[in-house]
């Protein structure tokens, strides 16, 4: 059992959907979640200072931190392993995304680090590493490594729909990883080992800061709503790529089958920071429930625009060979940039966290950090 993660689980609704008629609310302040996939964080986790010896700088006021002179493999093999990895998890959750250049970590070690970050930060016992529904059986690096490759992309992979004619806006790809799963990702990491001379940057955005830009009235309104996340386009993609969709358990007993659809609260609480964030994304969120389609379209477009048009809640990362990015998918979104023609490739691992829930008594990021918020 991790040192600072308490084993007591917070009370969640007795059902997968807090707003469904069959859902019995155990704690009135908690909406959403699932009793089979609850966080083990009884309260937010404090940073203990174990990474203070490593120089770092923040890339923007809101999001992004880069550590220098730190090999994450040293943490994996260090004497203070669990405390340092938990502190790294807290840093990732608070800063949204952490970057490290020139990493010697192997795909196998990436799996170990990602799983450790998730476990030490209190993920449910039922959550492991995700197996992407499009990952081929018997793939070279194992089920839990997604190979990110420009060659695969050319065959029509992922959210950019490069073989379709839906959009040519670069911002069409803003998403949160695998939010179509009932138990989506907490931490994920990507290491790029092959990259073009220029281009291929990745952007991340803070869903916490999106929440902070809403009026109190809109915050309260959205806290009462759920949204449907849907990745059915993977079914078509799986047949185009010529290998079957992974229908068995994908890292959690709750993630299986080919519905590729989940309902989550529109506003969720990150158990590690205790901060609220907006949890909808352009890639997978199709519908806000309980309102008309017109209202849903209006609200989703407004929330997507808050992500896309506010470059002061984004960070843009220029990759170098063997750079590593580790982010918290619960409260951040990200978007790739397809502005290159040369080969670009890397390895991604995603761990599963808790079934998303909202603790209505949790705070916004700016509120927790005592930063000024806009007055209304
Ligand atoms: Fe992604």
Q: Out of 130, 348, 365, 366, pick the active-site residue.
A: 348
Q: How far, in Å, from the CA of 225 to the mean position of ligand 1?
A: 24
Quote the ligand 1 centre to 24 CA distance (angstroms).
33
3-state SS class at 333: strand
Q: Give residue 54 CA to ligand 1 midpoint distance, Å.
A: 28
* pTM of full prediction above 0.75: yes
Tell me, what's the pLDDT at 6? 37
Cβ atoms of 142 and 347 within 8 Å: the answer is no
List b or e across 291-327, with b for residues whose CB sees 16 or more CB atoms inside 10 angstroms.
eeeeebeebbeebbebbbeeeebbbebebeebbbbbb
Ligand 1 center from residue 189 Cα (angstroms): 9
Dist. CA 278–CA 269, nearest whole Å: 9
Angle at 284 between CA 282 and CA 288, to 5 degrees: 80
CA of 321 to the centre of ligand 1 (A): 19
Cα–Cα distance between 327 and 206 in angstroms, integer? 11
User: Which superfamily does CATH assign the domain made up of 30-368 to?
Assistant: Clavaminate synthase-like (3.60.130.10)
- Cβ-Cβ contacts under 8 Å for 112 (sequence gap 6 or more): 76
- The CA-CA-CA angle for residues 336, 341, 342, to 5°, reads 100
- Residues around ligand 1, an ion, CB closer than 5 A: 177
Q: What's the gap in Å between 375 CA and the centre of ligand 1? A: 34
Q: To which residue do tokens 């790529």 refer?
A: 241
Supply the pLDDT for residue 239.
Answer: 85
DSSP 139-203: -TT-TT-EEEEHHHHHTT-GGG-TTS-S---GGGG-B-TTTTSSS-EEEEEEEEEE--SS---EE
Tokens of 166: 């839906």
Distance 80 CA to ligand 1 centre (A): 31
| Active-site residue identified among 31, 65, 132, 175 | 175
The rounded Å distance from CA 176 to ligand 1 centre is 6
Q: How far is CA 92 from the centre of its chain?
A: 11
Which pLDDT belongs to residue 375?
Answer: 58
How confident is the model at residue 16, as a pLDDT?
43
Please report the pLDDT score of residue 157 as a whole number: 56
Domain boundaries, the chain: 30-368
Q: Looking at 87, 177, 186, 328, which residue is catalytic?
A: 177
Q: Kindly give the distance from the C-alpha atom of residue 326 to the centroid of ligand 1, in angstroms, as a whole number.
A: 11
Instruction: Number of helices (H) and strands (E) in the chain: give both, helices first.
Output: 9, 17
What per-residue string of b and e applies to 191-222 under the rule 16 or more CB within 10 Å gives b? bbeebeeeebebbbbbbbbbbbbbeeeebeeb
Report CA Rg, the chain: 19
pLDDT score of 376: 59
Using the mean position of ligand 1's atoms as its centre, give its distance from the Cα of residue 159 in Å.
Answer: 9
**pLDDT for residue 147:** 84
Copy the structure tokens of residue 267.
């506003």
Ligand 1 geometric centre to CA of 348 (Å)? 9
DSSP letter for 353, please: -
Residue ranges in the chain modelled with pLDDT below 70: 1-26, 153-166, 372-376
| 177 a catalytic residue | yes
175 is catalytic: yes
Instruction: Kindly name the residue from 334, 344, 365, 366 that is annotated as catalytic.
Output: 334
Helix (H, G, I), strand (E, B) or coil at 351: strand
Instruction: Supply the pLDDT for residue 158.
Output: 58
């Amino acid at each position: 059992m991790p040192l600072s993660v308490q084993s007591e689980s917070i009370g969640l609704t007795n059902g997968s959907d807090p707003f469904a008629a069959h859902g019995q609310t155990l704690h009135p302040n908690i909406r959403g979640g699932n009793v089979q996939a609850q966080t083990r964080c009884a309260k937010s986790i404090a940073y203990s200072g174990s990474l203070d010896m490593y120089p770092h700088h923040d890339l923007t006021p809101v999001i992004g931190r880069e550590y220098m002179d730190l090999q994450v493999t040293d943490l994996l093999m260090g004497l203070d392993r669990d405390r340092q990895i938990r502190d790294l998890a807290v840093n990732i959750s608070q800063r949204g995304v952490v970057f490290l250049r020139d990493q010697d970590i192997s795909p196998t070690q990436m799996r170990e680090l990602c799983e450790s970050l998730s476990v030490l930060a209190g993920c449910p016992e039922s959550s492991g590493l995700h197996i992407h529904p499009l990952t081929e059986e018997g793939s070279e690096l194992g089920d839990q490594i997604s190979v990110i490759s420009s060659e695969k992309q050319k065959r029509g992979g992922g959210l950019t729909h490069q073989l379709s004619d839906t959009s040519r806006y670069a911002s069409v790809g803003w998403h949160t990883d695998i939010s179509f799963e009932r138990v989506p990702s907490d931490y994920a990491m990507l290491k790029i080992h092959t990259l073009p001379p220029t281009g291929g940057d990745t952007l991340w955005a803070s869903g916490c800061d999106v929440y902070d830009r809403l009026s109190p009235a809109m915050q309260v309104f959205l806290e009462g709503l759920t949204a449907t996340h849907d990745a059915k386009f993977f079914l078509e993609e799986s047949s185009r790529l010529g290998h079957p969709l992974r229908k068995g358990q994908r890292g959690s007993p709750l993630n299986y089958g080919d519905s590729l659809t989940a309902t989550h609260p529109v506003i969720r609480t990150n158990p590690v920071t205790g901060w609220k964030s907006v949890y909808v994304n352009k890639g997978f969120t199709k519908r806000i429930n309980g309102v008309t389609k017109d209202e849903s379209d209006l609200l989703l477009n407004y929330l997507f625009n808050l992500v896309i048009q506010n470059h002061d809640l984004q960070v843009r990362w220029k990759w170098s060979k063997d750079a590593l990015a580790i982010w918290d998918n619960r409260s951040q979104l990200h978007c790739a940039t397809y502005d290159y023609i040369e080969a670009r490739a890397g390895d991604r691992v995603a761990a599963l966290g808790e079934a998303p829930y909202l603790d209505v008594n949790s705070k916004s990021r700016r509120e927790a950090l005592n930063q000024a918020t806009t007055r209304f």
